Every structure is written in C-alpha cells, then in structure tokens.
Amino acid sequence: MKEEINGIQQLGVGVENVHEAWKWYRQHFSMDIRMFEEEATAELMLAHTDGKPRKRHAVLALNMQGGGGFEIWQHTGKKPVPCPFEIQLGDLGITIGKIKTKNVKKAYNTFKASGLNILTPVTKDPAGNDHFYLKDIYGNMWEVKNQKSVFRKKEKSVSGGILGALIGVKNMEESLPVYQEILQYDQIVYDKTGVFEDLKGLPGGDRKFRRILLKHSDVKSGAFSPFFGQSVIELIEAIDYEGRDIYEGRIWGDPGFIHLCFDINGMDAFRERAKNVGHPFTVDSAKAMETFDMGEAAGNFAYIQAPEGTLIEFVETHRIPILKKIGWYMDLKKRGHRPLPNYIMKLFRFMRVKDKN
C-alpha cells in the first residue's frame, strides 16, 4: 500500500494529573469526546523512556469541530518531571500547539472572559491570517488560529481541535527533510526572517527568528481525513539565541508536548521512507505484534525523532469504537483506504463526557 498521511491524529500532552488536566481541557477547549482511555504499561517505548517500561494513564480526547485530538498522558509509575525552566521561542521541540477556530475574535473574547492567560492580542501572522497566543495553567503555550473549515458546524464551542504545531529547530536545513519528505508537507506558505510583531508577548518572542510555515498541497483521503482537516507545521529557528532542549534530562511522557501523531496508511512504506531519509523508526510496534491493542482501539504505531529532538508518531488504525454502548466497532483493515461517511464520524458526539459544573 502506498504511504499516505491522512492528517494529524493527536498532539501528545504530558501532565501531572490526567483527570484534572482533561477536565480543564474539556471546559476551556471543548476536548470532550473520549475516543479511548486506558491505564497500561508503555513497554515498547524504551528508546525514549530511559530503557524502562513505564506505567501510564492516557486519554485520547477529540473536539467535534474537528482537527486532531489531545492525547492527555500521565506517568503513573513514577513522578512526572516538569520542565525546570520557562520554555521560550527558539527552544527545541514542540513549543506551541496550534488550535483551529472558525471565529478568532469570539474565541479571544471568550477565553479572556474566562480568565485565561492571554499572551498576545489578535494579530496577523506573516501570511495575513488572524491568530493569538495563550498559555494554559500547566505552562503550555497555544496558538488559536483562524480556520473557517470545521467538521460539525452545530457545535457551540469557540475552538476546535489541533491544526498543527510550532516546532523549535536548531538548524532549519537539517530538520526540513523530516517535515517535507517524510511527513509530505510539500508547500511552503511563508519563509520569513526577522523580528515579528505577532510574536511579541511570548517568552523570547522579541528575538530574531526564521519562520517557515508548511502545509500539504493535496486534499487527504484517509478514513478520518474529513474530521482531521487540513494541518500545518511551523518551524522556527532562533538567529541570536541557542535554544534549549525542552526534554533535556527528562523522558517521553513528562509534562509538556511529548509528540505529534499522524494518522497514516502504509506503515511498511513509511518504514522504508523514513530509513531512506536518514531517520529510521526508533519504535516499531509492527515488529513486536501484528496489531497493538489499546483497549477500545487498535492498530500499529511507530516513532521517529527529528534532528531537533521532536518525537513524531505514526499510527495505522485497525479498529475504532463508533458506538461503544451497543458494541459497535469498525474494522478499518477490511474497509480499505477511503473516507468514512460523515454521518459515522458525527456519531463520535455520543462519546462526549459532560461535566456537572
């Protein structure tokens, strides 16, 4: 099967208390669809967990406006170790999660009225799109970006799911092949160097940077592509600042943005592509078992590590829950490679978790 990127499935968010954090993300970002929740031991991630299996509790939460989800992830076998310094622009790895919104000014006013830590006013990025930045109560930075295309328009939430990520790199030319050749972001929206007005207000945002925004030029056709929608990756390199590795001295799963996960088809082809580009899989579940069972979902997963340290996950989904109450699960291995009907994905709303207050 030809290798295909179907969209961003989720952004991994390491936390110290998964229940507290998920409630906060439900209340403020409407990440309230529970796709799966599982307590287990991460036995295959040894390359990124100091060679030890690690107990964890994880939830994959979605937003019915579409976009990628949050994989909210807590170490339970050890004490989570937060980043010991304030992350700044130009530090290495995923430093900002990008969230879509169909009405950026409404999102700004809602988040401000809720007392969130807004870092910048609504302004325009180098491509002329409206956006603003905020920081959650755990110290994670988010960009809320105008994106008119949403999956379920009837939703009342002011923001949707993951549109992409901003990733700090040490050397742009070394990192670009991962995102352009392996992840197939073949279109450059902008490539600008300077001091940027829209970044002022962010930690380190008054420095000089090179920024490249990447997107896919084609329309994706995988099973969940209509739900995930378009995605973007922004790479940023500090010109006069030596960025720090945000996971130096810590391991995968510790608090912060732990990985960016892509839904794919053709794991075997991606294994060869990544190897040929010089970034072979560091984790490969398909070599350990035919299908990795995640309780309510199943599939194969693999990881690569970009030159700046970013962990990128690939997931080839085999089974997902549709209506868990009646035991309806879909076997995607038998279905083939084409988009699911929208009415099926709209049933995800029946997996919504509602808070009493």
The string of pLDDT tens digits covering residues 69-100 is 999 999 999 999 999 999 999 999 999 999 99
User: How far does CA 206 lie from the centroid of its chain?
Assistant: 26
Q: 101-154 pLDDT, tens per residue?
A: 999 999 999 999 999 999 999 999 999 999 999 999 999 999 999 998 889 988
pLDDT at 319: 65
Locus of tokens 């969209």: 7
pLDDT at 356: 77
In 3-state terms, what secondary structure has residue 220?
coil
Q: 29-78 pLDDT, tens per residue?
A: 999 999 889 999 999 999 999 999 999 999 999 999 999 999 999 999 99
**How far is the C-alpha of 353 from the C-alpha of 261, rounded, in Å?**
23
- Residues with Cβ within 8 Å of residue 349, at least 6 apart in sequence: 33, 64, 152
Q: Is it the case that residue 290 has pLDDT exceeding 60?
A: no
Summary mean pLDDT of the chain: 92
Q: Is it the case that residue 292 has pLDDT exceeding 70?
A: no
- Residues with Cβ within 8 Å of residue 268, at least 6 apart in sequence: 1, 286
- Residues with Cβ within 8 Å of residue 173, at least 6 apart in sequence: none
For domain 4-289+311-331+340-351, give the fold. Answer: 2,3-Dihydroxybiphenyl 1,2-Dioxygenase; domain 1 (3.10.180)
- Structural contact between residues 189 and 93, judged by C-beta atoms closer than 8 angstroms: no
pLDDT at 347: 87
